[in-house]
Every structure is written in C-alpha cells, then in structure tokens.
A and B are shown apart, each in its own frame.
Chain A
Amino acid sequence: MSAVAELPLDLDAFEGPFDLLLTLVLKEELDLADVEIVEIVLTFLEERREDLEVDGEFLVLVASLLELKARALFPEDDEAPFEDLDPDDAAGELAERLAQYRRFRTAAGWLEEKLDMEADRYFRLGPAPLAPVPERPLAPQEPASLAAALRALAVEPPSPSLRHITLTFPPVSLFLERFRAVLRRRGRFVFDNEVDALSRVEQAVAFLALLELRKAGEIAIGQAAPFEEITVWNAA
C-alpha cells in the first residue's frame, strides 16, 4: 500500500481511498463522468508531503484517469481518435471546447447576477393553466351506418364449443354389472372384444371395473403376453 493508494477522497460521487475509486472505475461500477478529477488533485495537494516518488505515482494515476475520461467523451466507434490527431488540431479543438465552456460559464454568471437583481420580484406561482377542453364534434354521420354498426354488434354470439370438455366418466358400477351379467351368461369373455366399440374414456373405466372385480376375487384374468388379449373368467 502506497501513500497514493490510501489517499482519502471525499467527492460528490465517491467517498473512500483512491485505490478503491480506481478499482470501481476500472470495473465500470462508477462512471468516471461523475468524478471531478480536480477534487482528487486538490485533496492530494492538501495531503501532500514532499516525496518525489509519491508525487510521480500520483501524476501517472491522475494522467491515466484523465485519459480514460477524455476517451469516454468520444463516441466508441471512433477507433483511436487520438493517434490521427495532429497536435495543432488537438489544441485547436480543445481551445474551441474550453472557449465554449467558458462562454456558458460566463452566461451562468450573468444569470446569477440577473437573479440577484430580480431577488425582490415576487409573483404568484400557480400550476399549469387548465385550458377549457376544446370541443371535438364528430364528423356528420348517416343514421343508416349507425344502425348497421349496431346491427353488427347485436348479433347473438355463437355459443362456445364445449367439445374439449366432454370428458364425462360413466360410473364404474355400470361395467361391474355388465361384466357380471356376461360371465353369468357365458362364464368367460375376451375384454378387448367387450369394450371395442366404446370410447377411450369408457374403455378406461371398464378396465377399472375389471380390476375391482379381480380385487374382490370374483374373477380371474389371463393374458398370454403383454399387449395380447385379456381373457376373463369366473373365479369360482
């Protein structure tokens, strides 16, 4: 840690040691445009002890800060705007900029004086005036076109389709009864043949009924191989 790195700063945009400021700037967490470099220099001059090495380090750091800040003022797509710049042109441009800034500084001074002169002018401050809302009459309309527009709106809307929610389940008991009846008549049946004509949902409920009967021990179920026919017969 050098004396420069620890230099305590108290700026508008930043408060803390100089090296932290540099870190934040390099990480782009602090916009250099918000940092007044003159304040850094003034702080350094206040804290300065006669030490050439420290002075030199400070000069280098501040110079690089200034360069960073200067580059930020130019549009990014301008690759290396400084290399091509003739020193005379650079001085000319800088002088132009400084002169422009000085003009506005002077103008600010003029405004400040003017404000002082007008310090004893009092007037009422009100909110923005409420102008009457201008009338915006409709363009002339045909009564028939109004009727037509209304008729288009008055049409009964088509009733929405409920097809996607027709998932109604038949009761399991329906199939329990049916399978018991078939077994009483024939003693044995092939499940697939019995449910072939039904919907998928009905087939699923029928299968549940089959499982119920099996659980109750009323039937026995056989299948030669997976996905083969399911054969059902009386358990007794």
Chain B
Amino acid sequence: MERSLESAMNGNLRVLENPVDRLARTIEALLVIAPTALAVEELAAAAEDDQERVETALGLLASRYREGRSGIVLEQVAGGYAFRAAREASEACARLVERPVQRGLSQAALETLAIVAYLGPVSRPEIARIRGVAADSAVAGLVERGLIAEAARDKESGAIRYESTPLFERVFGLTGLSELPRLDDLAEDDEGLRARLEEVAGRRGA
C-alpha cells in the first residue's frame, strides 16, 4: 500500500516537471561556467537540443534571474546570453573587484575605440588618417585591455587590422555592434562646418 502511494507520487512528480525545466537547468549550468556570453546556437549545440526550445528555456531563466528578484541577472549581451551581478549589488562588487578593462580610458582611446568599432577591421594608418595623430599607443592600450583585437591582415598592404571584441560589447552593455548609433546621425552640423570652410577657401582663392 505504502509502496504504491510512493510510486504514484513519483509518477505525479514526473508528470509535473515541465520538459523545458531540465533544459533550463542545463543552460543555467552552461552559462555559469562560460567566461563569455554564449549565443543561442552555442547553447543549443552544447545542450544538444534545438534552438527554439533553448530560447524558450532562456525566457524561463530570464524571468527567474532578473533585477529585484535575484542577485544574478541573465542579460542579452555581445550577441548572446550571460550572467552578471544585479545592479543593486554593484557597490559591494566594486569593493571586491577592480575593473581594469574600462578604468581610465583616455579621449584618444575612446576615439580610437569608436573608429575600430564602426569601421573594423581597420588598420592603424587608417585610424591615424581619421584622427590626424598616430594611433599606436591608443591601439596598443586597447589591445591590452582586450577591447579590440587583431583581425585578418589587409590583403593589399599586409597591415594588421583591428576589430572590436565581444568583450567590448559586454563592457559597454551592447547586444551587438548594430546597437551603436548610426554614424550619419552623429554628424549634426556638417553643413555649417562645410560652409565656413568654403567661405575661408573662397577668400583665399579670390
């Protein structure tokens, strides 16, 4: 009698478990060991499950791991998913660890980073042409911080070209490079500038 009750309960438990729950636990495990954001395809390949179910499981996890409910937050970042600390714990985190990657980025470094993020892969001479000063030290600093990395060399000139890394997207909280504002939208008063220069040129030419 007792035995049959136990087995009946076990049976019920099995019925109650949502099949996605098991997959969600697997994904949780994968995210906790991953040092970088994981794309849905990567999660699906590691879990040996299909992408649609992985996305459903991620939805389930996102509702559990969210600000205000958990100290660990699931975020969509750098073309994938990753765990991070809840913002409310940031001060405690700051007392525990330093963030060398983003500390003290100079204006030159930020401009160089912007050029690489928008135009990458791009070579140092190309960066120097846009900024009007050599980019060597800024590029070296960004490589050291892991925000940009060497990409394939330029086929014609053989120059090393650089592109931004997934770490860049993660540090800046971007889901991908497409989240950067459009470059054209950043040029507000080009026309005014052009007019002024042409005026000066006209005076000289006259």
A interface, CB within 8 angstroms of B: 31, 33-34, 36, 73, 87-88, 90-92, 94-95, 97-112, 114-115, 117-129
Contact = CB atoms under 8 A, between A and B. Distances in A.
A73 B193 CA distance: 22
Contacts of A129: 34-36
A101 B36 contact: no
A111 B110 contact: yes
Interface string B77-113: 0000011110101110110010101100101001101
Contacts of B114: 104-105, 107-108, 110-111
B204 A103 contact: no
A91 B200 contact: yes
Contacts, number: 132
Contact of A107 (B89, B167, B180, B197): B180
Contact of B105 (A88, A99, A103, A115): A115
Interface of B: 34-36, 82-85, 87, 89-91, 93-94, 97, 99, 101-102, 105, 107, 110-111, 113-115, 117-118, 128-134, 167, 170-174, 180-181, 183-184, 186-188, 190, 193-194, 197-198, 200-202, 204-205
B172 A118 contact: yes
A99 B70 CA distance: 46
Contact of A91 (B97, B170, B198): B198
Nearest to A123: B84
Contacts of A103: 183-184, 186-187
Nearest to B201: A91
12 contacts: A91-B198, A102-B193, A104-B130, A107-B180, A107-B181, A111-B114, A112-B110, A115-B172, A119-B90, A121-B90, A123-B84, A128-B35
B2 to A, nearest CB: 47
Contacts of A122: 84-85, 89-90, 93-94, 97, 99
**Which residue, B114, B174, B188, has most C-beta atoms of chain A within 10 A?**
B114
Given A95-B197, A104-B114, A118-B171, A126 B36 contact: yes
**Could you tell me the dominant secondary structure of chain B's interface residues?**
helix
Contacts of A115: 102, 105, 171-172
A101 B173 contact: no
Contacts of A88: 198, 201-202, 205
Nearest to B168: A111
Nearest to B102: A115
Contacts of B85: 121-123
The 7 closest A-B pairs by CB, nearest first: A126-B35, A120-B90, A91-B201, A123-B84, A107-B114, A108-B110, A122-B93
A118 B113 CA distance: 17
Nearest to A98: B193
A33 B171 CA distance: 31
B90 A106 contact: no
Nearest to B77: A123
Contact of A36 (B105, B133, B188): B133
B179 to A, nearest CB: 9
B20 to A, nearest CB: 25
Contacts of A104: 111, 114-115, 118, 130-131
B186 A124 contact: no
Nearest to B170: A123
Contacts of A98: 193, 197
B63 to A, nearest CB: 20
Nearest to B180: A107
